[in-house]
Amino acid sequence: MTDPQKLRAIKTVHTVVWGAFVAMIAYVMYSGITGKVSACSWLAAGAVVGEGVVLLIFGGSCPLTKMARRYSNSPMDNFDIYLPNWLAKYNKQIFTSLFCIGLLLMLINKKS
């Protein structure tokens, strides 16, 4: 496999994993807004917190970003993922905020 092929493979996997976490964050938001908090809501929240721990361990970067860096010297924020550059740049700020709001709403609005 050539370096460009390796980079494309990493970008594809990174984008799929990113999409899964965005879906979990959306589910946390949905659960919080509707008050329909279930075991799945808490599992999604736990997975997102786990992702945060991984990011902390890797110095604020996804391990896939570190892998992709071996195959690219691009200065763009989206060199490692199939997202618009602005979204790749502000990804953590946007989705951490949404997750925190959703989690807070889950705690406030959960129906007994």
Per-residue pLDDT reduced to its tens digit, 92-112: 999 999 999 999 999 998 775
Distance, CA of 5 to CA of 30 (rounded, Å): 37
User: What was the pLDDT predicted at 81?
Assistant: 98
The residue-averaged pLDDT of 26-34 equals: 97
Residue pair 32/102 in contact (Cβ under 8 Å)? The answer is yes
Which tokens in the block code for residue 59? Answer: 């110095």
Residue 77 has pLDDT above 70, yes or no: yes
Report the SS3 class of residue 72.
Answer: coil
User: What was the pLDDT predicted at 36?
Assistant: 94
Distance, CA of 15 to CA of 62 (rounded, Å): 12
Which tokens in the block code for residue 54? Answer: 């991984």
Q: What is the percent of the chain where pLDDT is above 70?
A: 99
- Tell me the pLDDT band of 40, cut-offs 50, 70 and 90: very high
